[in-house]
Amino acid sequence: MWDYEKRLQYPVNIKNPNAKLAQYIISQYGGPDGEIGASLRYLSQRFASPYREVSALLTDIGTEELAHFEMVGTIVHQLTRNLSMEEIEKSGFGPYYIDHTVGVWPQAAGGIPFNACEFQSKGDIITDLFEDMAAEQKARTTYDNILRVVDDPDVADAIRFLRQREVVHFQRFGEGLRRVQEDLDPKNFYQFNPGFDRCMK
CA–CA separation, 66 and 64 (whole Å): 5
CB of 72 to Fe ion, least distance (A): 12
Residues that bind Fe ion (CB under 5 A): 166, 169
**CA–CA dist 86, 64 (Å, integer):** 37
Cβ distance to Fe ion smaller for residue 46 or 169: 169
Q: How far is the CB of 82 from Fe ion (least distance, A)?
A: 30
The residue ranges of DSSP E strands in the chain, in sequence order, are none
Q: Which is nearer to Fe ion, 84 or 145 (CB)?
A: 145
Q: How many CB atoms neighbour CB 160 within 10 A? A: 15
Please identify, using beta-carbon distances, which residue of 54 and 102 lies nearer to Fe ion: 54
- In whole angstroms, the minimum distance from the beta carbon of 63 to Fe ion comes to 11
- Closer residue to Fe ion (CB): 24 or 173: 173
Give me the residues paired with residue 113 across strands.
Answer: 107
- In the chain the first and final C-alpha atoms are separated, in Å, by 47
- Comparing every residue's Cβ against Fe ion, the nearest one is 169
Q: Least CB distance from residue 136 to Fe ion, whole Å?
A: 5
Closest CA to 169 of 32, 41, 58, 28: 58
Instruction: Please report how close the Cβ of residue 142 comes to Fe ion at its closest, in angstroms.
Output: 11
**How many angstroms separate the Cα of 3 from the Cα of each of 63, 102, 105?**
10, 28, 24
When the beta carbons of 19 and 169 are compared against Fe ion, the nearer one is 169
